[in-house]
Every structure is written in C-alpha cells, then in structure tokens.
Amino acid sequence: MNAGLTKEFIQKIPKTDLHLHLDGSLRLPTLIELARRARVKLPSQTADGLCRLVFKKNYRNLGEYLRGFGLTCAVLQAPENLERVAFELAEDCLAEGVRYIEVRFAPQLHCHDRLNIEGAVTAVCRGLARAQRAHNRSRAVQNDADLPFHFGVILCALRAFTATTAPYYAQLFSVMPYAPRRQVFAAASLEIARAAADLAHRCDLPVVGFDLAGEEAGYPAEHHAAAYQLAHRHFIRKTVHAGEAYGPESIFQAITECHANRIGHGTFLFAADMIRNPAVGDPQAYVRHLAEYIASQRINIEVCLTSNLQTVPQMKRFSDHPLKQMLAHSLSVSINTDNRLVSHTTVCHELELAATHFDIQRHQFRNLVIAGFKGSFFPGTYTEKRAYVRRVIDRYEALERELLPLAM
C-alpha cells in the first residue's frame, strides 16, 4: 500500500461516510428475513444466490446496478424495518472505526397510507440514535480512548426513476396525469424540501441536508431549482448527485441553480469533451474555472470509487478515476461507500483503494480522511463541529505516531 499505510492504521483511524444510501446498505440476512415477513419475492432465498443474481461485484450498466433497490425498498415499507436497518447500518459503520455518518434516503419511496414522511424519517433517526447511545455510553468513549459517534440524515429528492410502484409516486402521477414527467418529480422534490425545512430544526431529528438523486442524464438539476431555493432559504445544507452520469455542466447547475455545498460523485468534472452547450466557447477554460471555483469555495466532492467503477462504462480500472486529478487541483475530497451492500464495500476498503491505486502521499491521505469531518453537515453548532474535528485530528495524529513511526 502506498505511503507506508497499513490496514491496521486505516481500521483504527476515525473515519466518515458522507455519501451513504440507506436502501443500498442493508445486511443480506436482514433483507432475506424482512422479505420473508413482508412476503416480498426475492430471486433467491440465500445470500450467495442474491449475490450471484442481483448484488454482484461487477455490473454491466447502471440499470443492473439499480435493480437491487427495488427489492430493498420493498422491505422498507414499515417503520420498524426502517429503524432496524438504520440501527444495523450504524453498527456496521462503528465496527470499522467510522465515527460520523450521514445517511441519505428518499422518504417518499417508503410512504403509504400508514406511513408519512415524518414517520419514515423518525424511524430512521430512532435506529441511528439507538446505536449512537450504545457507543457513546461505552467505557472507551467515557475514558476518552475513543471518539463519540455522531450522525445526520439527508433527505433525497429524485430527478426521475424508472419504477413508479411506490404508492406516493403512483398517487402523484394519478393526480398529475398530463403533466410532463419532469414536472411531476419537481413537485415531489418541492414537498420533500418543505419536509426537510420543517424537520431540520427539531432537536430530536438531526435532518442535516437535502439531496437530489436518480437518473441524471436528461433530467437536469435546474428542474428542481424551486425545491433547492426553498431549502436554501431555510438554511438547509445541500448536496447534489452531479457529474456521475453527465458532464461538467451538471456540476455547474448543481452549484449555480441549487446552491450545492457538496457534490455527490463529480466523476466527470474534468470531462471537457462532454460539454454540450454551444455557448461555451472554450470547454477547457470552462472546466478549469469550474474546478478552481469548487476548490476555492471548499465545496466537498463525495467520491465513491467502487460504485463509480461499477456504473460508469468509461472507467475500466480504478486508475481511470479522476481522484488524483481532484487532489492535484486542491479540491476538498471525501471518500465514501455510496452503497455498502450493492457495491460490496466498506469505508476501510474504499480508503485502501485510494491508497493503493492513486500514488497518494501520506499528507494527501490525511487530508482525505479529515475532509470528511470538515465537509460534514454536522448536526451541532459550528463551534461544536470545530471542537469535534480538533479531537479527530488529535486522534489521527496520535495513531500516526503509534502505528506509522516513520511518517514523513
């Protein structure tokens, strides 16, 4: 592993996961059990069978990658199931040394006559809070040998998605039968933005951000500008899936139309050849100015290496990912899992990939780890966040001295 980093060191250092989808991060045994209880038909009743048929390590395209979400969302239609899955996710993160997570999900995919948006969000927060209490009351945390665990929840709006079987969307399409598809999803985004604004300032629900996910190409972020403007007016922090399946213009829209504080993926930030606007006379200059703006404003890029390799046909190997280019432009970059189940990954694994495939120096690796904490939408005050980050840095440096004595 480059820079003299070790698996033990990566396991022990405090870590974050800022781009973490709840419905893509279930434990397989839990999915099988919940499906049996809810009478959801699975392609296989065994973990090995599901990995062979659905949750693969290599996918042919984005459509195949997204197939599993139909199954996971189908078993997450009850508050007790949402709570359990959130609790288990926090447990899994804690077990590998992750001390701060932001769990994102689209509540409208789980809503029906017996469960509204607030109920879905409350159930997820309840599960995460249970894991938080258990960890933060542990002897190690009480003796300052370990860091407290914190979490936030990000509510996702959707640009579009193929399946319309979710009751909420089925009803919305029925009351807007003649509206363009993009207008229907924009209306749903506005409602979830209102919910985020209502819930974000409740002390018992750490709703920390608003996101836009789903099909990117053909569904520009500007269609959801009204929802983001509402979130912006209510001091909600904002992230946008952008530059994952479309070029730099998508990232530009996320920043200018949606006031994005962070960018999800940003894989095609430097792809000047993907610019389609004829008004852009010099695509290379456009990309250069965009990258410089993102760097200067410390807009964090939520990089997800494994899932990008699985869903972007142009990427054949990890070295094709622009992570090294992002670091060369002094961008604020965090390393994330995206979907722990669907991508068969962990934060430790993603950091090991970064250290192995990109010739990253030790100080760059440190910046990647700390950027996750600095770029977080921490649920406390800014003063509390700074104090927490300081503790993280102190812990990181102590472990570096202990486990990497030849640090340069």
Domain map (residue ranges) of the chain = 2-403
Where in 89-181 does DSSP place strands (E)?
98-105, 150-158
Task: Work out the average pLDDT over 115-124.
Answer: 96
The Cα 64–Cα 307 span in angstroms is 12
pLDDT grade for 407, boundaries at 50, 70 and 90: low
The Cα 345–Cα 57 span in angstroms is 9
What is the model's pTM? Answer: 0.96
The Cα 291–Cα 270 span in angstroms is 8
Q: Under a CB-based contact definition with an 8 Å cutoff, are residues 239 and 262 in contact?
A: yes
CATH T-level fold of 2-403: TIM Barrel (3.20.20)
| DSSP assigned state of 21 | E
Q: Under a CB-based contact definition with an 8 Å cutoff, are residues 290 and 301 in contact?
A: no
pLDDT grade for 23, boundaries at 50, 70 and 90: very high
The Cα 64–Cα 390 span in angstroms is 42
Q: In this predicted model, what pLDDT tens digit does every residue of 295-306 receive, in sequence order?
A: 999 999 999 999
Task: Work out the average pLDDT over 235-239.
Answer: 97
The Cα 364–Cα 188 span in angstroms is 40
Asked about 244 being catalytic, the answer comes back as yes
All residues at 6 or more sequence positions from 50 whose CB lies less than 8 Å from its CB, including other chains: 28, 31, 32, 42, 43, 44
The active-site residue out of 83, 102, 215, 244 is 244
Task: Work out the average pLDDT over 10-39.
Answer: 97
